[in-house]
Amino acid sequence: MKIYVDADACPVKDIIISEGTNAKIPVILVTSFSHFSNAEQPLGVETIYVDSGADAADYRIMKLVEKGDLIVTQDYGLASLGLAKGCTVLHHTGYTYTNENIEQLLQTRYLSAMARKSGKRTKGPKPLTAEDREKFKELFIRAILR
């Protein structure tokens, strides 16, 4: 198993790196060049940089993942592709994407996009809370121990 992180806007990278490296599971952060950093990563953590184009990180992750890998993303499209490839896919607020919930999530995303296209304002994501971080950490630990 490897852990792939859609890392551009992932607010729980610290948890993923800490718990992933403690479990000796490779962590791959996929991020755009616009988020380039010279910061040293711990042993077992790799950063892959991609172009800043739309979905570039998603395409690279899907090229690299294999059945049984773990993906952390807030992107419903990437989540659906990961599920189809046999990966476990987690959202940073502490829930698992499943074949049972992905269709509804994609439908909601589509309806929101259509509303925005017609000039309506839609709500953005809620700020990440300490409770969300703890919920994610518990879910993530369970996922990597499987």
Which ranges constitute the DSSP H helices of the chain?
A: 13-22, 56-64, 76-84, 102-117, 130-145
Higher-confidence residue of 43 and 124: namely: 43
At residue 109's C-alpha, the angle toward residues 61 and 72, to 5°, is: 30
Rounded (10°) CA dihedral 123, 128, 130, 135: 90
Give the residue-averaged pLDDT of 38-45. 91
Q: What is the mean pLDDT of the chain?
A: 92
Task: Write the CATH number for 75.
Answer: 3.40.50
Rounded (10°) CA dihedral 38, 41, 44, 45: -60
**Number of domains making up the chain:** 1
pLDDT at 35: 81
Q: Indicate if the pLDDT at residue 81 is higher than 80.
A: yes
Nearest to 65 by CA among 53, 75, 78: 78
Max mean pLDDT among 13-17, 103-107, 126-130 falls in 13-17
Residue ranges making up the domain that contains 114: 3-145
pTM over 0.85: yes
d(CA 74, CA 145): 22
pLDDT at 5: 98
- Contact call for residues 21 and 27 (beta carbons, < 8 A): yes
Confidence of residue 38 (pLDDT cuts 50, 70, 90): confident
